[in-house]
Amino acid sequence: MGNQRSRNWFQGPEYYAFARRAWLRSEGFDRSIFEGKPVIGIANSWSELNNCNVHLKQVAEAVKRGVWAAGGVPLEFPTISLGEMLMKPTAMLFRNLMAMDVEESIRANPLDGVVLLCGCDKTTPAMLMGAASADVPTIVVPGGPMLAGTWRDRKLGSGTDGRKLFDLFRAGRLSEEQWCEVEGAIARTSGHCTVMGTASTMTSLAEALGMTLPGCANIPAPDARRLAIAEASGRRIVAMVEEELRPSRILTRAAFDNAIAVLMALGGSTNAVVHLPAMAGRVGIRIALDAFDRISRRTPWIVNVKPSGEHLMEDLFEAGGVPVVMREILPLLDASCLTVTGRTVGENVGAAECLRRDVVTRLSEPLAAEGGIAVLGGNVAPNGAVIKQTAASAGLMRHRGPAYVFENRDQMYAEIDREDLPVDENTVLVMKNCGPKGGPGFPEWGQIPLPAKLLKRGVADMVRISDARMSGTSFGTVVLHVAPESAAGGPLAAVRTGDLVELDVERRRIDLLVEDGEIARRLAEWTPPKPAYERGYGKLFLDHVTQADQGCDFDFLMPEMK
Ligand code: FES
């Protein structure tokens, strides 16, 4: 019964069953492919516009070997691809478009099962959102992280170290020649960014959710074992079709709680706080921001990988990868959750052995007692905001200072390097109009650069607040995802230069120390910015995107919530 979908396309006496077979045979297939074999779609986000996914053609060939060997018929198809580095204004603007592409490609075609090939930040959640809505048996094969960059005597983590070295370059402590060397050395192999940025976080969480084979997420892209596990995934998806093992049986509320716990143990990207609710929403599960904070408070941070820690993804792979992390925090997980193996989380990871304790610590000796991400409330963010506390400065976790407000990113870039900018290390930098509607597309602009004049004085961090996201490779005392956003009339819109702002991470608050009546008066005078789009996909996005605390999916793509 598992291959009922492809039967509906290819079997039967009518003309179109004949036509579908005949035209597909133009690709050179033998008639035997229509004799009841499951048809497996390989959704490939390969693109030369997305360096992180550019090796996925080779991965697809390995998946095909496995599908053929298990008695299935693999048919590879392209999806749009979202390259974090090239797309403007932000790849996030197109996550929902990619999810729709994947969902409708699965629905419209004779596919009994699907293998999702992903890697760069948005490609993993987008593909999982689409596949969850289509709900045919699905397995994820990420492309894996790149190897560490090497420059002079240093190992470089793409993303994080690039930002750190750029600050040295801006401060005049790195020469033009050295900066050119870094450009050629930091991203030297195929694969996605090699720190615990958004790509590594989301592929690891796909594994934590039970949607990849155990150990799959962290194998480096150039490692031969990447292709071996791709082949094994191809074999496994054929069996999953027979077992009718659909995403809706795997993506349960308990599985999402497990994924949130793994996120905290990893010190993973704040972007997961947007993507996990969006993915859960596709199977009708509402994840409130409170869940992240509740699970963060009981889940220690145990994975010592940049940007929160010291090591890189290849070190986490050597330590044993996600299975070792899940084995370590197993007392905090629901071990009974079903996975693509057909077995439970507990059965998959129960025997995992940690091979590098400098990378994955014991649960009893964590790097921090709480998880990496804290969810804030307060009068600036009535619907929530987030801070990556493991990548923030301990001395700024409780801070009161005067705001310096940038109305948008253009103003920020025009002013940030001015020698006469009236700021010091106590100033709270505030940037508006960078949220889902304001950006538009919820760009990763939240790690506002430190003012050049302060960098030259050796200032390494300041409190920064915005309704933007930030790259998972970023760091600093940065409050993000303020909801509702300023472009939707949230209280952030009322903050003015000189107002006192107070951050208190322990109390989980970010507050504007201005009378309630004055805030209300300012908001009553506020007028919304001109929409960035008046036609096309951009207008669809602005009309239907939900706010950060709801995952930024389109309202019409979410089913009724449980
Ligand atoms: Fe693709 Fe960093 S640019 S993961």
Q: How do strand 464-466 and strand 478-480 relate by DSSP bridges?
A: parallel
Q: Which ranges of 299-395 would DSSP assign to H, the alpha helix?
A: 313-319, 321-328, 345-349
- How is 279-295 classified by DSSP, letter by letter? HHHHTT----HHHHHHH
Residue among 87, 147, 193 to mutate when testing ligand 1 (max atoms within 8 A of CB):
193
* Separation of CA 182 from chain center: 26
Residues of the chain with pLDDT under 50: none
Q: Is the CB of 193 under 6 A from ligand 1?
A: yes
Cα–Cα distance measured from residue 9 to residue 21, given in angstroms and rounded to the nearest whole number? 9
130, two tokens: 């689409």
Task: Give the pLDDT of residue 2.
Answer: 66
Distance 120 CA to ligand 1 centre (A): 5
User: Ligand 1 atom closest to Cα of 83?
Assistant: 1
Closest by alpha carbon to 220, among 341, 127, 119?
119
Closest by alpha carbon to 468, among 492, 450, 489?
492
Q: What's the pLDDT tens digit per position in 184-201?
A: 999 999 999 999 999 999
Q: Apex CA 232: angle with CA 5 and CA 220, to 5°? A: 120
Tokens 């996600």, residue located: 322
Backbone phi, psi, residue 196, to 5°: -80, 60
Cα–Cα distance measured from residue 421 to residue 415, given in angstroms and rounded to the nearest whole number? 7
Smallest CA separation from ligand 1 atom 1, residue: 120
Task: Give the pLDDT of residue 474.
Answer: 81
Q: Is the CB of 196 under 6 A from ligand 1?
A: no
10, two tokens: 């290819």
Q: How many Cα atoms occupy the beta-carbon half-sphere of 40 within 13 Å?
A: 33
Distance 53 CA to ligand 1 centre (A): 9
Q: How far is CA 498 from CA 164, 402, 461, 464, in A?
A: 29, 5, 20, 14
Q: Which ranges of 83-223 would DSSP assign to H, the alpha helix?
A: 95-108, 123-134, 160-170, 176-185, 198-208
Provide the 10 A C-beta neighbour count for residue 213.
20
Q: Is the CB of 85 under 6 A from ligand 1?
A: yes
Q: What is the CA radius of gyration of the chain?
A: 24
CA dihedral 255, 67, 353, 299 (to 10 degrees): -20
Q: Is the CB of 199 under 6 A from ligand 1?
A: yes
At 143, the amino acid letter reads: G
| Bond prior to 366 in cis (omega within 30° of 0) | no
Distance 321 CA to ligand 1 centre (A): 19
Residue among 53, 121, 313 to mutate when testing ligand 1 (max atoms within 8 A of CB):
121
- How is 156-182 classified by DSSP, letter by letter? E-TTHHHHHHHHHHHTT-S-HHHHHHH
The strand pairing partners of 465, in sequence order, are: 430, 479
Cα–Cα distance measured from residue 258 to residue 202, given in angstroms and rounded to the nearest whole number? 13
Determine what percent of the chain falls in helix, strand and coil, rounding each to the nearest 5. Answer: 40, 15, 45
416, two tokens: 């940030």
Q: Which ranges of 418-480 would DSSP assign to H, the alpha helix?
A: 452-456
Distance 9 CA to ligand 1 centre (A): 38
Tokens 């094994």, residue located: 232
Task: Give the pLDDT of residue 399.
Answer: 98
What is the H or E stretch that residue 385 is in? Answer: strand 385-388
536, two tokens: 């096309």
Cβ atoms of residues 419 and 391 within 8 Å: no
Task: Give the pLDDT of residue 1.
Answer: 53
Q: How many Cα atoms occupy the beta-carbon half-sphere of 266 within 13 Å?
A: 34
pTM over 0.85: yes
318, two tokens: 């050597």
Exposed, middle or buried, 425 (CB in 10 Å: 0-12/13-18/19+)?
A: middle
Coil/strand/helix, residue 15: helix
User: Ligand 1 atom closest to Cα of 84?
Assistant: 3
What is the H or E stretch that residue 149 is in? Answer: strand 149-151
What domains are there in the chain, each with its CATH number?
A: 38-147+189-349 (3.40.50.2300), 149-185 (no CATH), 384-529 (3.50.30.80)
Q: Is the CB of 101 under 6 A from ligand 1?
A: no
Q: How many Cα atoms occupy the beta-carbon half-sphere of 321 within 13 Å?
A: 23
Provide the 10 A C-beta neighbour count for residue 324.
22
Backbone phi, psi, residue 529, to 5°: -70, 160
Distance 303 CA to ligand 1 centre (A): 20
Angle between helices 253-266 and 272-282 (to 10 degrees): 170
The strand pairing partners of 406, in sequence order, are: 431
